[in-house]
């Protein structure tokens, strides 16, 4: 069902943006609204990449990440954790061969869980560790130690970052 404004609705202001001109963005520590263009944070070393959560681990997200990671390996010093959003998504990803792609790349894969997203288990960050995550929150202590730094980005940026070991543009990995 489509919801629209009344045809005669009056607005205080109208703003229009050409979103096609907005490049990839990354939310920096310690708030989802601390957003910068990817180019400003590219090159930041990471200890962990989390491709998961209920917000960015749907089938289309996993397909994007797998397309980037296919035939490549996670950087040797990076932990990459992939957790599909639901059991149904996990099963579909398994049937499509996406789980195999992630496994061959060196990712740790789990059944659907909130684990690392809330710092509960499976990817809890230590002091000063840096994570790039596809989850939706990066407040201090959200994924572990309060001094850990969590950047939020798209599944494409997360996959490229896992391969490079530092925050990276997906095109860098695709060209390699």
- Give the chain's domain count: 1
Residue 30 lies in a domain: yes
pTM: 0.89
Which residues lie below 8 Å from residue 119, measured CB to CB, with a gap of 6+? Answer: 125, 141, 142, 143, 144
Residue 116 lies in a domain: yes
Whats the size of the chain, residue-wise?
A: 176
pLDDT band for position 56 (50/70/90)?
Answer: confident
Q: pLDDT value at position 3? A: 84
Residue 36 lies in a domain: yes
Residue 6 lies in a domain: no
Quickly count: other Cβ atoms within 10 Å of residue 148's Cβ.
Answer: 24
Which residues lie below 8 Å from residue 174, measured CB to CB, with a gap of 6+? Answer: 68
The neighbouring-strand residues paired with 131 are: 48, 150
Of residues 160 and 176, which shows the higher confidence score? 160
Find the domain containing 83 and state its range.
24-175
H or E element that contains 59: helix 59-69
Contact between 133 and 103 (Cβ < 8 Å)? no
Is residue 80 predicted with pLDDT exceeding 80?
A: yes
Report phi then psi at 26, rounded to 5: -135, 130
Residue 8 lies in a domain: no
| Nearest partner of 50 among 140, 117, 146, 120, judged by Cα | 117
**The CATH number of the domain where 96 resides is what?**
3.30.499.10
Residue 57 lies in a domain: yes
Contact between 51 and 79 (Cβ < 8 Å)? no
Residue 11 lies in a domain: no
Q: pLDDT value at position 4? A: 87
């Amino acid at each position: 069902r489509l919801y629209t404004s009344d045809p005669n609705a009056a607005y205080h202001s109208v703003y229009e943006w050409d979103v096609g001109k907005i490049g990839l963005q990354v939310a920096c520590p310690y708030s989802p609204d601390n957003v910068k263009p990817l180019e400003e944070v590219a090159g930041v070393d990471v200890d962990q990449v989390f491709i998961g959560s209920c917000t960015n681990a749907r089938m289309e997200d996993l397909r994007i990440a797998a397309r980037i990671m296919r035939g490549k390996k996670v950087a040797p010093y990076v932990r990459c954790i992939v957790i599909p959003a639901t059991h149904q998504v996990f099963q579909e990803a398994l049937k499509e061969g996406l789980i195999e792609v992630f496994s061959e790349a060196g990712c740790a894969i789990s059944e659907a869980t909130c684990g690392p997203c809330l710092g509960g288990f499976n990817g809890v960050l230590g002091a000063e560790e840096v994570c790039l995550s596809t989850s939706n929150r990066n407040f201090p202590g959200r994924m572990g130690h309060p001094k850990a730094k969590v950047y939020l980005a798209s599944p494409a940026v997360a996959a490229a970052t896992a391969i490079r070991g530092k925050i990276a543009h997906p095109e860098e990995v695709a060209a390699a």
